[in-house]
């Protein structure tokens, strides 16, 4: 008897034209596990993240979320995506909707939650990420850090089984990075299953159970944060760490 992993990728390959972006990816993420994905720019981290909810289709292999194989494009896929929260580097809040509308839209449209319930729950989430007082503003009126916290609230409003983060703090001014990482750290501590592409070493050490290092579309290392940061096994990881730790 083994328990079903929350995410399972087996023998996944993907090309963009001639470019082999994901090479034979095998990865299982257990329920409640927090995995940080590291690697140089262009190594395929975003693509990996985006294949898990099929924003990018794969060429071959299998991806399962909570034991269910990713469906083809259509209603079943939309239903699966509703259970997988995603946070983008560029926030991607709905520009023509207020912050509260951003958080209630999918629960109302996809989950068929009543508006009053959706707003109550939405306000609780905005409260939790510390931007309840911004509820009636439009995204462009908020700082980057506030927008990213709203985007996290939007994803959480669907009560997802797993959360994917693709460099959630890379587009932020330095003074706003921590307000977003704090929300993520709390989420991790509460037991959310998370796959986080980030170069924030502090977050990785503090919140991650596991670090994956990618290079050229391959998973090169898969270990604990302590082991990875203190004794990386591969030369590429050493090289990478040397670069990001010196600046």
Partner 1 sequence: MDALIQEFPLFWSGFLGTLRLALFAAVGSLVFGTLLASFRVSPLPPLRFVGLAWVTVFRNSPLVVVLFVFAFALPQVGIRFPTFNGNAFFWPGVAGLAAYTAAFVCEAVRAGINAVPPGQAEAARAVGLTFGQSLGTIVLPQALRSVVPPLGSVIIAMIKNSAIVGAFGVTGELFSVDGALSATGVYPALSILTGIAVCYLVITIPAGIGLNVLERRIEVKR
Cβ 145 to partner 1 shortest distance, Å: 18
Which CB sits closer to ligand ADP, 16 or 133?
16
Contact pick of 8, 81, 135, 236 for partner 1 (by CB under 8 A)? 81
Q: Does 42 bind ligand ADP (CB under 6 A)?
A: yes
232 binds, among Mg ion, partner 1, ligand ADP, none (CB under 5 to 8 A by kind): none
Cβ–Cβ under 8 Å, residues 9 and 26: yes
57 binds, among partner 1, ligand ADP, Mg ion, none (CB under 5 to 8 A by kind): none
Q: Where do contacts with Mg ion occur on this chain (CB under 5 A)?
A: 46
The position carrying tokens 């839209």 is 105
41 binds, among partner 1, ligand ADP, Mg ion, none (CB under 5 to 8 A by kind): ligand ADP
Which CB sits closer to partner 1, 39 or 107?
107
Q: Fill in the per-residue mask, 97 to 136: x = in contact with partner 1 (CB under 8 A), - = not in contact.
A: --------xx--xx--------------------------
Cβ–Cβ under 8 Å, residues 128 and 137: no
Kindly list the strands in the beta sheet with 68-69, ordered across the sheet, starting from the edge strand earlier in the chain: 19-29, 7-16, 60-65, 68-69
Q: What is the Cα–Cα distance from 163 to 39, expressed in whole angstroms?
A: 19
47 binds, among partner 1, Mg ion, ligand ADP, none (CB under 5 to 8 A by kind): ligand ADP
Contact pick of 25, 35, 45, 211 for ligand ADP (by CB under 6 A)? 45
Cβ 74 to partner 1 shortest distance, Å: 8
The position carrying tokens 């944060």 is 225
Which CB sits closer to ligand ADP, 40 or 71?
40
First-to-last CA distance in the chain?
Answer: 46
Helices (H), 30-172: 45-52, 75-82, 99-109, 115-128, 144-156
How many chain residues are in contact with ligand ADP, going by CB under 6 A?
11
Contact pick of 39, 122, 139, 145 for ligand ADP (by CB under 6 A)? 39
Q: What is the Cα–Cα distance from 159 to 148, expressed in whole angstroms?
A: 17
Cβ–Cβ under 8 Å, residues 36 and 203: yes
Q: Does 165 bind partner 1 (CB under 8 A)?
A: no
Conformation bin of residue 24: beta by default, left when phi > 0, alpha when psi is -120 to 50:
left
Q: What is the Cα–Cα distance from 231 to 238, expressed in whole angstroms?
A: 8
* Binding positions for ligand ADP, rule: CB under 6 A: 16, 19, 21, 39, 41-47
């Amino acid at each position: 008897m083994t328990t079903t992993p929350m995410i399972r990728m087996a023998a996944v390959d993907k090309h963009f034209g001639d470019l082999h972006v994901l090479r034979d990816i095998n990865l299982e993420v257990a329920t409640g596990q927090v995995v940080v994905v590291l690697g140089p720019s262009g190594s395929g981290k975003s693509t990996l993240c985006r294949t898990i909810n099929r924003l990018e289709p794969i060429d071959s292999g299998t991806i399962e979320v909570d034991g269910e194989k990713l469906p083809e494009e259509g209603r079943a896929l939309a239903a699966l995506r509703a259970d997988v929260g995603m946070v983008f580097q560029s926030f991607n809040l709905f520009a023509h909707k207020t912050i509260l509308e951003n958080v209630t839209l999918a629960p109302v449209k996809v989950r068929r939650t009543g508006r009053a319930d959706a707003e109550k729950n939405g306000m609780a989430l905005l409260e939790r990420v510390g931007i309840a007082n911004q509820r009636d503003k439009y995204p462009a009126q908020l700082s980057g850090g506030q927008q990213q916290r709203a985007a996290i609230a939007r994803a959480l409003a669907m009560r997802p089984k797993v959360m994917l983060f693709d460099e959630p703090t890379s587009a932020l001014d330095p003074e706003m990075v921590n307000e977003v990482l704090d929300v993520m750290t709390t989420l991790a501590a509460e037991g959310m299953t998370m796959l986080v592409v980030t170069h924030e070493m502090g977050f990785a050490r503090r919140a991650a159970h596991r670090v994956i290092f990618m290079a050229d579309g391959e998973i090169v290392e898969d270990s604990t944060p302590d082991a990875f940061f203190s004794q990386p096994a591969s030369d590429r990881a050493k090289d990478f760490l040397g670069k990001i730790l010196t600046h």
